[in-house]
Amino acid sequence: MKKIKKIVLFIVVLAFSLFALTVIINLPVFDEKLLPEVVAIKNLKAKPYSENNAHPALLAINNAGDDLLVSTAQIRRILNQKIAETGLDFFDNEEYDRYINSEIDKEWQHRYKSCNSRRESTCLTSLVEELQDHPITDPRLQAQLKKYQQLLMFSDFSDSVLLDFQAPIIPYGAVMKLKRLHLALSYNEEAFHEFFNVIDQDLQFWQMLLEKGHLMITKMVAIASVHDSISAVSAAVRTKQLDQNQLMALQNQWDVFSISSLNMKAVFDAEFRAGINMFAEAEQSGEFRYLNLVDFFQLNATHNLAYTLTAEVRNLAKLNAAEFYTLKDSERFKNDAEHVFTLSPSSFYNPTGKMLLSYSILPYTDYIARIHDLNGMIHLLKLQIELAMYADRPKKAVIAQSKYVNPYTLEAMNYNEETNSIYFECMDKTSDCELAL
372-430: pLDDT as tens digits:
999 999 999 999 999 999 999 999 999 999 999 999 999 999 999 999 999 999 988 88
Specify whether the CB–CB gap between 303 and 279 falls below 8 A: yes
| 72-80 contacts, C-beta under 8 A, 24 or more apart | 74/99, 75/99, 75/100, 76/49, 76/51, 79/49, 80/48, 80/49
The segment with the largest mean pLDDT, out of 11-20, 256-265, 324-333, is 256-265
Percent of the chain with pLDDT over 90: 43
Taking residues 273-289, report their average pLDDT.
Answer: 67
What sections of 103-171 are H helices per DSSP?
106-111, 123-133, 139-151
* Residues 138-147: b if buried by 16+ CB within 10 A, e if exposed: eeebeebbeb
Q: Give φ, ψ of 242 to 5 degrees.
A: -100, 140
C-alpha to C-alpha distance for 277 and 207, rounded to whole angstroms = 30
Q: What confidence category does residue 261 fall into, taking pLDDT thresholds of 50, 70 and 90? A: confident
Give the count of beta carbons closer than 10 Å to the beta carbon of residue 113: 11
- Tens digit of pLDDT for each residue in 139-166? 999 999 999 999 999 999 999 999 887 8
| Per-residue confidence (pLDDT) for residue 22, from 0 to 100 | 64
> What's the rounded Cα separation, in Å, for the pair 288 and 295?
5
**Percent of the chain that is helix, strand, coil (3-state, to 5):** 60, 5, 35
Which pLDDT value is given to residue 87? 93
How far, in Å, CA of 194 to CA of 257, rounded? 25
Give me the pLDDT at residue 336, please: 43
Largest Cα span, the chain = 99
Cβ neighbours, 10 Å, residue 237: 21
Asked whether the predicted pLDDT for residue 52 surpasses 90, the reply is yes
Per-residue pLDDT at 333 exceeds 70: no
Q: Is the pLDDT of residue 21 over 60?
A: no
The least confident of 23-32, 71-80, 192-201, 417-426 is: 23-32
How far apart are the C-alpha atoms of 170 and 168, rounded to whole Å? 7
- Per-residue pLDDT tens digits for 82-138: 999 999 999 999 999 888 876 778 888 888 777 777 777 777 778 888 888 888 888
Q: Is residue 311 over pLDDT 70? A: yes
Judging by DSSP bridges, how do beta strands 421-423 and 434-436 pair with one another? antiparallel
pTM of the predicted model, to two decimals? 0.87
| Percent share of the chain, pLDDT over 70 | 84
CB 186 within 8 A of CB 195: yes
pLDDT on residue 50: 95
Amino acid found at 31: D
**Domain residue spans in the chain?**
54-262, 265-362, 367-436
State the Cα–Cα distance between residues 217 and 170, nearest whole angstrom.
9
Burial string for 299-315 (b: 16+ CB within 10 Å, else e) reads bbbbbbbbbebbebbee
Which range, of 52-66, 130-144, 216-230, 283-297, averages the lowest pLDDT?
A: 283-297
Q: Report the distance separating Cα 232 and Cα 220, nearest Å.
A: 19
CA neighbor of 66 nearest in space, from 132, 145, 125: 145
